Amino acid sequence: MTVAILVLGVLPVLLAAAAVSDLMTYKIPNVIPGVMILLFLAFLIVLAFGGRAMSWSEASPHLLAGALGLLAGLGLFALGWIGGGDAKFFAAATLWLGFDALFSYAIVASLLGGVLTVGLITLRKIPQPAFLVRQAWYARLSDHKGGVPYGIALALAALLILPYTHVFQIAAAG
């Protein structure tokens, strides 16, 4: 029951919070990926106390995915392609999704990021209603010099991939 709450309740809320924060401020607060990492540790502990400890062979692909996610995110950040919050968020999400889902997650996030980027380019080419442009978050989105709040694509991709992961299967089983 507690495992299900962590994976099916708290994790999706954190993913959604990252997307909303990035939409509204173009920032993902460090606390979100930090809590996601601590939540993963809590997940492992709750499993162990519930008599269903993850073996090293089950847990290590998650740790590997998190490490690879961090390296990839830092590389993209160093190239100036994503923000630092996106890099940390990507790493925390890959920790949860695991190595088996890493490639799918990266592809889905890239596709959603492309759709988001094309959508913003299109939005920025058309006249915007004054009442929306007066909203700071919308003004940032519609600014033709603005960036892309990629955390939205990362969060949505994680939500789409999560039901196909090992941790989700564990949580759904109870």
Look at residue 126 and give its three-state secondary structure.
coil
How far apart, in Å, are the Cα atoms of 106 and each of 48, 69, 73, 103?
A: 30, 9, 11, 5
Other C-beta atoms closer than 10 Å to the C-beta of 6 total 18
- What's the rounded Cα separation, in Å, for the pair 22 and 85? 9
Name the phi and psi angles at 51, rounded to 5.
Answer: 85, 10
Q: What angle do CA 158, 148, 36 make, to 5 degrees?
A: 35
pLDDT grade for 162, boundaries at 50, 70 and 90: very high
Q: By mean pLDDT, which of 41-50, 73-82, 121-130, 155-164 is the weakest?
A: 41-50
User: Pick from 117, 125, 123: which is nearest to 148 by CA?
Assistant: 117
Average pLDDT over residues 134-159: 92
How much of the chain, in percent, has pLDDT values that exceed 90?
Answer: 67
Quote the CA–CA distance of 105 and 159 in Å, as a whole number: 10
- In this prediction, residue 1 carries a pLDDT of 55
Q: For 96-113, how does the pLDDT look when each residue is reduced to its tens digit (9 = 90+)?
A: 999 999 999 999 999 999
Q: Is residue 36 pLDDT above 90, yes or no?
A: yes
168, 150 Cβ separation under 8 angstroms: no
**Which range is least confidently modeled, 27-31, 103-107, 131-135?**
131-135
